[in-house]
Chain A
Amino acid sequence: MSAPRPWSWLLGLVPLLGLGELGMHQYFARRAPGFQDYAALAPRLLKLKQPGVPVVVAPAWAEPLLRQAAPSAFPLEELARADDSVFEGFLEVSVLGHTAPELSGFPVERSWRFGSFAVALRKNPHPTPSRFDFVAAVAAGQVEVFSDRDGEREMCPLAANAHTSTGGLHGHVAYPRQRFACHRGSFAGVGLIDDQNYRARRCILVQPPASGRLVLRFNGAPAFEKLRGHAGFSYFLERDRASAQVELGAEQDGKVLGAVRLAGAQGWSSFEWPAAGAADSVELSVRALAPGPQDFCFALEAR
């Protein structure tokens, strides 16, 4: 064996490092809360949970455990919300000291400690409440849907219990049981898509006709200043498509408010259109720009 070098005493630490790594492994293996901890947290969390205050779990990987323990803390419209800006506050459940990056700009108003969990009520400093939620209106059936071909409109009736269809991993998104079904297979209903972070977004799922457009008419919308929207496709399915696939447009009593063209590669994209004066009818139209079926989804709010 070769002669010891001046730094060879450091080698004496190697076995200790081996034992140290074992100790660290044991520590990390036991560090995260277990099922029973989430079960214990659930009733306390539900006492704090208010409608319209979404629960956000940090880190996100812990969310399924809390969804299992406290399902009613996660209404789908909050869990798969289109946009954070509309909410006045969030209930952040912090595990292992993590905080949710998307809430970093929201100051903590109150906080609690429940065993391994820290819970904080974070207030949105500039909430912009919605005056009319188009997704909620579609879910409630408060919309008229037409297939429009060169100005000729054909009503798409509401099928309240249509045949559901799920595409699995590589197939289409889930087609909702309740949907406005048109003559040639196009439809509109409330569904979910995955955004560019593969997070769920609840939105109006539209399959426009191959030619013409699908029109959604909302009567009785209150006066508003602007429309704020988000739109996209299932990112997993369409993320390689860079050229525009659909056009979404809006009219208020015949006046054009705006239009956007969207491609799958853009992910969940936001847009805003100003109002064109007081009126109670808003029409949204979706037109396919590319061949093939397009499962396009958008969320829109009047503010």
Chain B
Amino acid sequence: MKRLLEHLEPHVDRLLAFALGAGYLVLLLATSGSLGFTRDEGFYFAASRAYGAWLDLLVHHPSQALARDAIDRYWSVNHEHPSLIKLLFAISNRALGAAFAETSASFRFPAMLLSGIAVATTYDWGRRRYGRSAAVVAALSFAFMPHVFFHAHLACFDLPVCALWLVTSYVYARSLETPRLGWVLGAGVAYGLLLDTKHNSWIFPFALLLHFALTRALPFLRDLRAGRSAWRRLPPAWASMLLLGPLLCFALWPWLWHDTWPRLREYVAFHMGHEYYNMEFLGRTYWKPPMPHGYAWLMTLATVPAITLLLAAIGGSVAIQRRERRPDYALWAVSILASYAPWLSSGTPIFGGTKHWLTAYPFLCLFAGLGFTRVMAAFHGLRPRLTQPAALMACVLVGPITMALHAHPFGLSAYTPLVGGAPGAASLGLNRTFWGYTTQSLLPFINQRAPRRGTIYVHDTALQSFAMFQEDARLRPDLRGSLNIAASDIALFHYEPHMSRVEQQIWLEYNSISPDAIAAYDGVPIAWAYTRKR
């Protein structure tokens, strides 16, 4: 046994990183079946099926697949978002579909896998900077942020872009540390994947520029003034990211293969002029600018466990005091700043809640790990053994883990004790839910009460998501989803203030103000259903 341990010792950290990532993936897969499908997932399921069909064509009739009309036909679906993640959903569904109990899990798997990679990367980066125990704290603090745990399940882009931002930063940091060709090229490849994931990637270069300004600008300027070759101070990874990144993004996104510039312009224009959806914040519904300046900050305070935030604050102060590891700490800090930066403008939409700045969270947790080292230092040499790292880790992790697991499957309704939990947040007028995924919690009622071949008014649930409930055999196959209340036998309502008019229409149409089933989280109604009395 001892020999085995000695043999394993050099590999412990790799094994631990793998165990953390794989363990998280297993947990996500185990809990996916009880989480409903968000609106956006419905659209991405449909897009992935189209891309999958194109892949089939590519395999069997490559020349047809590469013709413009085929590309336009298959890739115009959801072309306002980059292709990579949907392509991975499609590949996973086609190649691994049989391995999963539910079709939805095969679509969700790549995003879950990337979430696991993000947890493992957080651990590895933390371990390199401050050791094993604190790195575990960083990784698990990230994994069990309640909103991260929710988003990590979804066939969406929010955790994937968070994971790829982290991985790209990690590879970039390694390329600065040891500018070997592998890391330099790796940074370019990682950035290409990030570019082809979500438009958050556009902010990433600004983070790197700021990082350069903070860490290398002075020697760069000195060299410049002295007439020395200042360009040698530029990170070699920049060249690779500038060249490889866009090329890889282009190569993996067939929609851009024709009419490249107009389509790129359309992509940029879509996100720069994105429609403002409604979002409740402190009792007011915002649907047009100016958006509240405090939104991102208050929502972070209200949804990230306070212990994680406190540790991150301690870690931040430690980072400021320390002279070593500055480039890494600076990179973590600029990633956080860059992730939140769009919400310094009151013109930036807030409709997606916390998912908009998820890219900041692994870095916040890396600082939390750093803060944990300071807490451990304060207990150094103390007795009893309760003050040993494992006990301290348990103290700072048991809260986040409990909260995240407790919030499932109502992830977006999860709020921390700082605002009084879900009841406190509802009283404060913070968003209770969106995306229509809580239909899942009403399925037992629908399955039991809907008439044979009945029609369900799905409200905020996308019809494609409704169809996936049936494909996964969570919902009776004889039922029909509809957007017409008047034609329905059961009407669902997902609570958001601006949608109250939907419930009011149900009252009149069904001649009843009394819900027949309510899905509640910690005593707060989230979604409810009415049945037509005949």
Q: Give the interface of A toward B (CB within 8 A).
A: 1-2, 4, 8-9, 11-12, 14-19, 21-22, 24-35, 59, 61-62, 64-65, 67-68, 71, 74, 76, 79-80, 96, 98, 164-169, 173-174, 176, 191-194, 197-200, 234, 236-237, 239-240
Complex interface bits, B233-258 against A, C-beta within 8 A gives 1, otherwise 0: 00000000000000000000000000
Are B403 and A25 in contact, CB atoms less than 8 angstroms apart? yes
Write out the residue numbers on chain B whose beta carbons fall within 8 Å of the beta carbon of A19.
395, 398-399
Write out the residue numbers on chain B whose beta carbons fall within 8 Å of the beta carbon of A25.
399, 402-403, 406, 416-417, 421
Cross-interface CB contact of B399 among A22, A28, A59, A164, cutoff 8 Å: A22
Write out the residue numbers on chain A whose beta carbons fall within 8 Å of the beta carbon of B293.
none
B327 within 8 A of A: no
CB A243 to nearest CB in B, in angstroms, measures 17
Are B498 and A12 in contact, CB atoms less than 8 angstroms apart? no
CA distance A239 to B501 in the complex (A): 13
Given A67-B514, A98-B427, A192-B504, 13 further pairs, Cβ under 8 A: A8-B377, A14-B307, A22-B403, A31-B421, A35-B518, A65-B525, A74-B513, A165-B486, A166-B485, A174-B485, A198-B497, A200-B504, A200-B507
Write out the residue numbers on chain B whose beta carbons fall within 8 Å of the beta carbon of A169.
459-460, 499, 501-502
CA distance A2 to B130 in the complex (A): 13
CA distance A234 to B506 in the complex (A): 15
8 closest A-B pairs (Cβ-Cβ)? A32-B523, A28-B421, A15-B395, A71-B514, A24-B417, A11-B378, A22-B399, A166-B485
Write out the residue numbers on chain A whose beta carbons fall within 8 Å of the beta carbon of B306.
17, 21
Q: Output the nearest chain A residue to B499 by Cβ-Cβ distance.
A: A169
CA distance A30 to B523 in the complex (A): 8
CA distance A125 to B423 in the complex (A): 32
Q: List 25 A-B contacts (CB under 8 A).
A: A4-B378, A11-B377, A12-B375, A12-B379, A14-B307, A14-B314, A17-B306, A17-B307, A21-B417, A28-B421, A31-B522, A34-B520, A61-B427, A67-B513, A71-B513, A76-B507, A96-B423, A164-B486, A169-B502, A173-B501, A176-B508, A194-B500, A194-B501, A198-B498, A236-B498
B16 within 8 A of A: no
CA distance A24 to B508 in the complex (A): 41
Are B396 and A236 in contact, CB atoms less than 8 angstroms apart? no
Are B524 and A32 in contact, CB atoms less than 8 angstroms apart? yes
B178 within 8 A of A: no
Given the interface pairs A4-B377, A64-B518, the reply to whether A14 lies near B508 with Cβ below 8 Å is no
Given the interface pairs A71-B512, A191-B508, the reply to whether A18 lies near B399 with Cβ below 8 Å is yes
Write out the residue numbers on chain A whose beta carbons fall within 8 Å of the beta carbon of B375.
11-12, 14-15
Q: How many interface contacts (CB-CB < 8 Å) are there between A and B?
A: 191
Cross-interface CB contact of B509 among A24, A30, A164, cutoff 8 Å: A164
Q: Output the nearest chain A residue to B491 by Cβ-Cβ distance.
A: A166
Given the interface pairs A21-B305, A22-B402, A67-B514, the reply to whether A35 lies near B507 with Cβ below 8 Å is no
Write out the residue numbers on chain A whose beta carbons fall within 8 Å of the beta carbon of B515.
64, 67-68
B483 within 8 A of A: yes
Are A174 and B509 in contact, CB atoms less than 8 angstroms apart? yes
- Tell me which of A8, A18, A33, A169 has the highest count of chain B C-beta atoms within 10 A of its own C-beta: A18
Write out the residue numbers on chain B whose beta carbons fall within 8 Å of the beta carbon of A21.
305-307, 399, 416-417
Given the interface pairs A191-B508, A192-B504, A197-B497, the reply to whether A28 lies near B525 with Cβ below 8 Å is no
Interface residues of B in 388-422 (CB under 8 A from A): 391-392, 395-399, 402-403, 406, 416-417, 420-422
Write out the residue numbers on chain B whose beta carbons fall within 8 Å of the beta carbon of A27.
417
Are B427 and A166 in contact, CB atoms less than 8 angstroms apart? no
Q: Output the nearest chain A residue to B524 by Cβ-Cβ distance.
A: A61
CA distance A18 to B285 in the complex (A): 33
- Tell me which of A8, A15, A22, A173 has the highest count of chain B C-beta atoms within 10 A of its own C-beta: A15
B157 within 8 A of A: no
Are B484 and A28 in contact, CB atoms less than 8 angstroms apart? no
Cross-interface CB contact of A76 among B391, B395, B513, cutoff 8 Å: B513
Are A61 and B426 in contact, CB atoms less than 8 angstroms apart? yes
B424 within 8 A of A: yes
Write out the residue numbers on chain B whose beta carbons fall within 8 Å of the beta carbon of A194.
500-501, 504
Given the interface pairs A64-B518, A67-B513, A67-B514, the reply to whether A174 lies near B525 with Cβ below 8 Å is no
Write out the residue numbers on chain B whose beta carbons fall within 8 Å of the beta carbon of A167.
505
Interface residues of B in 352-379 (CB under 8 A from A): 373-375, 377-379
Given the interface pairs A25-B421, A192-B504, the reply to whether A9 lies near B378 with Cβ below 8 Å is yes
B432 within 8 A of A: yes
Q: Output the nearest chain A residue to B376 by Cβ-Cβ distance.
A: A1
CA distance A32 to B521 in the complex (A): 10
Are B514 and A59 in contact, CB atoms less than 8 angstroms apart? no
CA distance A16 to B392 in the complex (A): 9
- Tell me which of A35, A62, A80 has the highest count of chain B C-beta atoms within 10 A of its own C-beta: A62
- Tell me which of B406, B421, B508 has the highest count of chain A C-beta atoms within 10 A of its own C-beta: B508
CA distance A98 to B484 in the complex (A): 37
Q: Output the nearest chain A residue to B517 by Cβ-Cβ distance.
A: A68
Complex interface bits, B40-74 against A, C-beta within 8 A gives 1, otherwise 0: 00000000000000000000000000000000000
Write out the residue numbers on chain B whose beta carbons fall within 8 Å of the beta carbon of A200.
500, 504, 507
Are A59 and B426 in contact, CB atoms less than 8 angstroms apart? yes
Given the interface pairs A59-B426, A176-B508, the reply to whether A22 lies near B398 with Cβ below 8 Å is yes
